[in-house]
Amino acid sequence: MKRLGWTGTVATLLVGFVVQASAFAQNPEQYQKRRQAVRDAMEPDSVLIVRNTPITDDSGLPRLDPNFYYLTGITEQGSALVLYSSKREAQPGGGTGEMMAAGTRVGISGSGGVILFKPVPAPMFRPGQVGQPAPPQPAPEHPGFAPGTVRRSSDFQAFFERTLLTATRTVYLDYRRSFTLGGPMTEDEQLLKGARDRGATLTIKPASMLLAKLRVIKSPEELQLLRQAAEITAAAEREAMRAAKPGLFEYQLQSIIEHVFTINGARRPGFTTIVGSGPNSCILHWSENTRQTQPGDVVVLDIGAAYQGYSGDITRTIPISGTFTKRQRDVYEIVLRANEQAIEMLKPGVSMREVSTKVRDILGEGLLKLGVIKDKSETFKYSLHGPTHPIGLQVHDVGSTAVLEPGMVITIEPGLYFPDEGLGVRIEDDVLITTSGHEVITASAPKSIEAVEALMKQGGGIDFRRYLVPKIGTN
């Protein structure tokens, strides 16, 4: 096959980003529909509070609160959203009316059931204004929120405390908890205790549980973003296959993968990039990526690009020398068969318990034929994880996928692991459940033995060596 130079390679990496990126942004009406759906799902006379506080992921990096982003599309830290139930119960002395009255007492009124608290940008001073008082700042605004429903984030704390004091029904809130009995209470726990000590009779329920039921079904706009994340992730898998060769460090393959992410507008991974070679291929969430690959290794590439908040998740296992050994091929074919036959089962109404059983049976039958086990009940020794999870705003997204419905997006990821041999094989795809069946949105990442080996022989991938500089103090 023709080898691609640097320019040609970059062209193959730009998976429609320049043309399509702006078209994929979700419009304000989508977020309005979601907020209304939440309000309709809430208990009568209840209030839901979601704060955009950073969440630390497995890489130690802060991420936006996915529930807040799902309902607003806003990325500014320090923001908060308050939703009042659209259902009322005509009972005197409490409920939504009293809680909204609490909002009026701190200057929040006319909300129409929705209030957004948002930081106000610092004023810019022009020459001649030094020493003069800053002019009053106008109330913040945001697309999709009616005039008068957006307030300064500096007003939120007083509103929050007043709501806790006056609520007599359910408050949906994910609050920070302490994890030791003898340790200090979190600020949220202190506020809740203070409210109850003053006679508040509110009931706290997790906001995340209510939102999970809605988030598990993706809208058409979300599906576009997930498809784009999947395409970018698949492009990174292909580029890693082209570049792979013995002697590369795992972190060098990681850098190639994440370069493809960035150049296509996915400015960060959806989770910590996993490049596990040799013995590390058997460590499920290996993230150190420090080992130098050796001839004959397999390398597990478990990667996902985060595109406008939505994550892809693809795993491919490749032979670093370009060709699978017979042993590697035998194990790979078992895992591939489990992956493909599980995907074929996917359609609305199918139970994931049935799919999991199918995967386990295929893996067990394969291990029996290889002589690794004597009974299929021993399969768990070599298959160390479940075969699926939902994906979306989080790589392990929320919501139950026990019975499949149209609009769900899940992974299928069987694996077999032999630590004594330094041989781990995992193959993972992202699959959309459609009204008539399924769509594999990661199909452009090669996974058959023939396709993987052919692409690795093609070469033409990013040559990291052009960026290497000699170590100081060496000849």
The pLDDT tens digits of the residues spanning 429-462 come to: 999 999 999 999 999 999 999 999 999 999 777 7
Tell me the average pLDDT across 267-275: 95
Q: Tell me, what's the pLDDT at 102?
A: 44
Which domains occur in the chain, in start order? 42-121+138-214 (3.40.350), 217-467 (3.90.230.10)
The chain-wide mean pLDDT, for the chain, equals 88
Give the residue numbers annotated as catalytic, written as ranges: 58, 285, 302, 313, 385, 389, 396, 413, 417, 426, 428
Tell me the average pLDDT across 202-224: 96
The pLDDT tens digits of the residues spanning 72-107 come to: 999 888 999 999 999 887 554 444 444 444 443 333
The pLDDT tens digits of the residues spanning 354-388 come to: 999 999 999 999 999 999 999 999 999 999 999 99
Q: Tell me, what's the pLDDT at 75?
A: 87
Q: Tell me, what's the pLDDT at 136?
A: 63
The pLDDT tens digits of the residues spanning 98-131 come to: 444 444 333 344 457 999 999 987 665 555 556 6
Q: Which range, of 60-64, 254-258, 420-424, 443-447, averages the lowest pLDDT?
A: 60-64
Q: Tell me, what's the pLDDT at 127?
A: 53
Q: Tell me, what's the pLDDT at 203?
A: 94
Tell me the average pLDDT across 13-35: 68
The 3-state secondary structure of the chain, one letter per residue = CCCCCHHHHHHHHCCCHHHHCHHHCCCHHHHHHHHHHHHHHCCCCCEEEEECCCEECCCCCEECCHHHHHHHCCCCCCCEEEEECCCCCCCCCCCHHHHHHHHHHCCCCCCCCEEEEECCCCCCCCCCCCCCCCCCCCCCCCCCCCCCCEEEHHHHHHHHHHHHHHCCCEEEECCCCCCCCCCCCCHHHHHHHHHHHCCCCCEEECHHHHHHHHHCCCCHHHHHHHHHHHHHHHHHHHHHHHHCCCCCEHHHHHHHHHHHHHHCCCCEECCCCEEEEHHHHHCCCCCCCCCECCCCCEEEEEECEEECCEECCEEEEEECCCCCCHHHHHHHHHHHHHHHHHHHHCCCCCEHHHHHHHHHHHHHHHHHHHCCCCCHHHHHHCCCCCCCCECCCCCCCCCCCCECCCCCEEEECCEEEEHHHCEEEECEEEEEECCCCEEECCCCCCCCHHHHHHHHHHCCCCCHHHHCCCCCCCC
The pTM for the full model equals 0.88
